[in-house]
Copies of this chain bind each other. A is one copy, B any other.
Amino acid sequence: MTVDWRSLADAKRQSILDAIPAKWRIQTPIPSPSELRDVTGYIEQFLTARELEITGNDAVDIAKRTTSGNWTAVEVTEAFCHRAALAHQLVNCLHEVFFEAAIEDAKRLDAYFAEHKKPVGPLHGLPVSLKDQFHVRGVETTMGYVGWIGTRGVSESELVRELRNLGAVLYCKTSVPATLMAGETVNHIIKYTTNPQNRLLSCGGSSGGEGALIALRGSPGGFGTDIGGSVRIPAVFNGLYGIRPSSGRIPYEGAANSMDGQNTILSVIGPLATTARSLRLLFKAVLSQEPWFHDPLVLEVPWREDIEREVGALVKQSAADPSQLAFAVMHDDGITKPHPPIARAMKTVEETLKKLGHRVIEWKPPSHRIAVDLADQAFTSDGGADIEYHFGLSGEEPAPQIIVATKLTHKTALEVAALNVKKREYQKLYMEYWNSTAELTGTGRPVDGLICPCAPHAAVIPQKYRHVGYTSFVNLLDYTSVVFPVTRADKTIDVSQPRTDFLSEADKLTYEDYDADIYHGAPAGLQIVGRRFQEEKMLALAEYIGEKVQEASQ
Which A residues have a C-beta under 8 Å from some C-beta of B?
248, 253, 259-264, 292-297, 299-301, 381-383, 385-386, 410-421, 424, 427-428, 431, 435, 477-478, 532-533
Contacts and interface: CB of A to CB of B under 8 A. Distances in A.
14 contacts: A248-B299, A261-B419, A261-B421, A263-B417, A263-B420, A293-B431, A293-B435, A296-B424, A296-B431, A299-B532, A300-B533, A382-B414, A412-B413, A413-B415
Contact of A532 (B300, B381, B386, B413): B300
Nearest to A418: B261
Contacts of A386: 414, 417
A427 B248 CA distance: 14
B413 A381 contact: yes
Contacts of A533: 292, 299-300
A439 B296 CA distance: 21
Contacts of A260: 417, 421
Nearest to A252: B424
A478 B298 CA distance: 12
Contact of A417 (B259, B297, B424, B532): B259
Contacts of A294: 431, 435
Nearest to A298: B532
Given A296-B427, A299-B532, A421-B261, A414 B385 contact: yes
Given A300-B532, A300-B533, A383-B414, 11 more contacts: A248-B299, A260-B421, A261-B421, A262-B417, A263-B263, A292-B533, A296-B428, A299-B533, A381-B413, A382-B412, A413-B413
B411 A413 contact: yes
Contacts of A417: 259-263, 382, 386
A299 B301 contact: yes
A382 B263 contact: no
A301 B428 CA distance: 18
B428 A253 contact: yes
Contacts of A419: 261
A294 B410 CA distance: 32
Nearest to A415: B413
Nearest to A426: B296
A385 B262 CA distance: 21
A389 to B, nearest CB: 10
A297 B414 contact: no
Contacts of A259: 417
A286 to B, nearest CB: 17
Contacts of A300: 301, 532-533
Nearest to A424: B296
Nearest to A299: B299
Contacts of A381: 413
A413 B416 contact: yes
A327 B515 CA distance: 68
B413 A382 contact: yes
A420 B261 contact: yes
Contacts of A418: 261
B413 A262 contact: yes
A476 B248 CA distance: 17
Given A261-B421, A293-B435, A532-B300, A413 B414 contact: no
A414 B415 CA distance: 12
Contacts of A413: 262, 381-383, 410-413, 415-416
A375 to B, nearest CB: 15
Nearest to A434: B293
Pairs A-B, 7 closest by C-beta atoms? A261-B417, A296-B427, A261-B420, A261-B421, A381-B413, A411-B413, A382-B414
A386 B420 CA distance: 14
A300 B417 CA distance: 24
Nearest to A428: B296
Given A262-B413, A413-B413, A297 B435 contact: no
Nearest to A427: B296
A345 B326 CA distance: 58
A299 B415 CA distance: 26
A235 to B, nearest CB: 25
A71 B35 CA distance: 86
Contacts of A263: 263-264, 417, 420
